[in-house]
A and B are shown apart, each in its own frame.
Chain A
């Protein structure tokens, strides 16, 4: 009887110990895979960050592709790879809130307004198509040639109207008030309106496809532009011993409509050609 009980106990013990071993092995495997994936995602994140910071003031077009599909998600301050590794976002990147592909187009365009005001980076999923309704030739000419095939005549994933939109077409609908500035309206689950300051912003709205993603980049771009305006205002103050910079200074602190300020700044700066120009 006692011997039988001991055998019984031995079996229970062996099964218990075996279960612990097995749990360890499975746990080890799962954790190892998760760690390896995190390492891989961190590598992709660094690659993307390097791509963004490498553009500097250049106007360039690049294709970023990997052997396996990856997901990039964006917020105002950071981007995330495969819902795992996040990195801070220092550049102005117009992209949808989520990009899922094995290949994305990256286009950097310098923004002169009227002085060098940084670089806009546009991220485009190779599987997304865009249809522009209205006179958009001017806008298409700005887009690098390899990207123009993303613009189709009808039934694009994103429908862009220059003027009143037709809400019966499918896909994401954006309507734009054309001109040096105007409104941009996104017809998603909610209808939300923001503003643009010319073609580079309009392209930002098209490639963002989403109010939040567009608006936070627009705000960041204007904030940087205002910093540059302040720098040029202070610089013109230092130069004022030699020439009169009153004209340009008026517009460097003017609260007027931005496109109007830009037009006057360009004129005033050109007028300074006999003195030291401000920018």
Chain B
């Protein structure tokens, strides 16, 4: 009788523990998933945020314009390693699609290893200050997930 009670009690306790462990794993996973979804939405927003950064946005006599300055993009690409904490494991490239061929890796944070690669792109207006002409560029951001 005592052995039976002990056995049943132990069984119920084990079920309870298992249930709790699963429940907490599920709840923690849903919190992590929400955090990931937020990070992903921030990544998607980057193609809209990056062109309006003062480091690359066109400006004339202090007035900003809705375009990316190719002169600033080239200069920024030379110092972009200082922006690792801002951009992390991503690469940002710009490619002219209308005028003469021009392609530039503006930021290169590509890690040695990653699990998944996400890509988001948009068309942007480019300004070439040397020639004083406007072109159309494809801004592409790649995010390398699962890096160590």
Taken together as a complex, chains A and B put the C-alpha atoms of A43 and B76 apart, in Å, by 34
CA distance A23 to B132 in the complex (A): 74
Bound together, the chains give a CA A276 to CA B78 distance in angstroms of 22
Which of B9, B49, B55, B60 contacts A277 (CB under 8 A)? B60
Q: Which of A35, A57, A277 contacts B24 (CB 8 A)?
A: A35
A 229-271 to B, binary, CB cutoff 8 A, 1 in contact else 0: 0111111001101100000000000000000000000000110
Q: Are B62 and A279 in contact (CB under 8 A)?
A: yes
Contact mask for chain A residues 37-59; partner B; CB cutoff 8 A; 1 contact, 0 none? 01100110010000001001100
Interchain nearest-CB distance for A141 vs B (Å): 20
Q: How many residues of A contact B (CB 8 A)?
A: 46
Of the residues A35, A118, A276, contact of B132 by C-beta under 8 Å: A276
B31, closest chain A residue (CB): A39
Q: How far is the CB of A117 from chain B (nearest CB, A)?
A: 6
Contact partner, B59, options A10, A90, A279, Cβ 8 Å: A279
Q: Does A64 belong to the interface (CB within 8 Å)?
A: no
Which stretch of B34-42, B92-100, B114-122, B137-145 is in the interface?
Answer: B34-42
Q: Judging by beta carbons under 8 Å apart, are B54 and A228 in contact? A: yes
Check if B148 is an interface residue, CB within 8 A of chain A: no
Within the complex, the shortest CB–CB distance from A106 to chain B, in Å, comes to 18
Asked if A127 lies at the interface with its beta carbon under 8 angstroms from chain B, I say no
Interface assignment of B104: CB less than 8 Å from any CB of chain A: no
In the complex, what residue of chain B is closest to A237 when comparing beta carbons?
A: B75
Chain B binder among A108-116, A155-163, A164-172, A208-216: A108-116
Give the contacts of A15-67 with B (CB-CB under 8 A).
17, 20-21, 24, 28, 31-32, 35, 38-39, 42-43, 46, 53, 56-57
Secondary structure at the B interface, as helix, strand, loop or mixed, is helix
State in angstroms the CA–CA spacing of A273 and B63 once bound together: 13
- A→B interface (CB under 8 Å): 6, 9-10, 13, 17, 20-21, 24, 28, 31-32, 35, 38-39, 42-43, 46, 53, 56-57, 88, 90, 112, 114-118, 227-228, 230-235, 238-239, 241-242, 269-270, 273, 276-277, 279
Q: List 18 A-B contacts (CB under 8 A).
A: A6-B2, A10-B5, A24-B13, A28-B20, A35-B24, A39-B31, A46-B34, A56-B52, A57-B57, A232-B72, A232-B75, A235-B69, A238-B129, A238-B130, A239-B130, A241-B130, A277-B60, A279-B62
Known: A116-B57, A235-B129, A239-B130. 18 other contacts (CB 8 A): A21-B13, A42-B35, A53-B45, A56-B52, A88-B85, A90-B86, A112-B62, A115-B62, A116-B54, A227-B55, A227-B82, A228-B54, A231-B55, A235-B74, A269-B61, A273-B61, A276-B132, A279-B61
Binding site for A on B (CB under 8 A): 2, 5-6, 9, 13, 16-17, 20, 24, 27-28, 30-31, 34-35, 38, 42, 45, 49, 52, 54-55, 57, 59-62, 64, 69, 71-72, 74-76, 78-79, 82, 85-86, 129-130, 132
